[in-house]
Amino acid sequence: MKLNRKSDYALRALIHLSSVPDRPVPVREVAEANDIPRKFLESIMRDLRANGLVESVAGKNGGYVPVCPPAEVSVGAVLRMFEGRLEAVDEDLLPECDDEAPTGQVRRALREIGQAVDRVMDELTLEDVMRRSPIDYSISSKNEFQFGAGI
């Protein structure tokens, strides 16, 4: 899965804002600290504000503040905001067919991989990223892809 710069920069900005919770942070500061082009970041911050993740504070000491604590913001929600639906593979590349045919089996496996990736992104919060908490990649559902069991 390849993410665009907007998603990357949005995550960096939110993490920066969350690490300075006691004051509004100017766009200039976030841009300089995270090597993000300022004009591009201004556009991203407007999107984050429109989606309710940050608030702007006007004035000499103004800037942006996060609306929610980092433990309440999932990486998946931020990525979908800028990427739309995230898919492990473009299913249009695989023709529709019977689920028991080889192409159908591959299609089903790739769909299940995508669902597992979605779950990890939705469970991973900004706080986890900030704390470098380990990510549990285990697959717990017995309906999901299992090595050795066939596809």
Per-residue pLDDT at 13: 97
Q: In CATH, what number is assigned to the domain containing residue 106?
A: 1.10.10.10
Is residue 106 situated within a structural domain? yes
Is 11 a domain residue? yes
CA distance 131 to 113: 26
The answer to whether residue 98 is domain-embedded is yes
Per-residue confidence (pLDDT) for residue 55, from 0 to 100: 97
- pLDDT on residue 148: 43
Taking CB atoms within 8 Å and a gap of at least 24, the contacts of 84-87 are 86/1, 86/114, 86/117, 86/118, 86/121, 87/1, 87/114
pLDDT of residue 141: 52
Give residue 102's pLDDT: 81
What is the rounded CA–CA span in Å between residue 90 and residue 86? 10
pLDDT at 147 over 60: no
Residue 150 pLDDT exceeds 80:
no
pLDDT exceeds 70 at position 12: yes
| CA–CA dist 116, 16 (Å, integer) | 28
In a domain, 149, yes or no: no
Model confidence over 64-87: pLDDT tens digits?
999 999 999 999 999 999 988 776
Residues 121-133 have a mean pLDDT of 90
Alpha carbons 56 and 66: distance in angstroms, whole number = 9
Q: In whole angstroms, what separates CA 115 from the centre of its chain?
A: 14
Does residue 82 lie within any of the structural domains?
yes
Element (H, E) at 113: helix 102-123
pLDDT tens per residue across span 33-52: 999 999 999 999 999 999 99
Is 54 part of a structural domain of the chain?
yes
pLDDT of residue 111: 80
How many domains, the chain?
Answer: 1
Task: Note down the domain range covering 9.
Answer: 5-131
pLDDT at 135: 62
The predicted pLDDT at position 149 comes to 46
Residue 136 included in any domain: no
Torsion of CA 110, 116, 122, 128, to 10 degrees: -120
Q: What percent of the chain has pLDDT over 90?
A: 57
Does any domain span residue 144? no
User: Confidence class of residue 100 from pLDDT cuts 50, 70 and 90?
Assistant: confident
Angle in degrees, 0-180, between the axes of helices 38-50 and 5-19, rounded to the nearest 10: 80
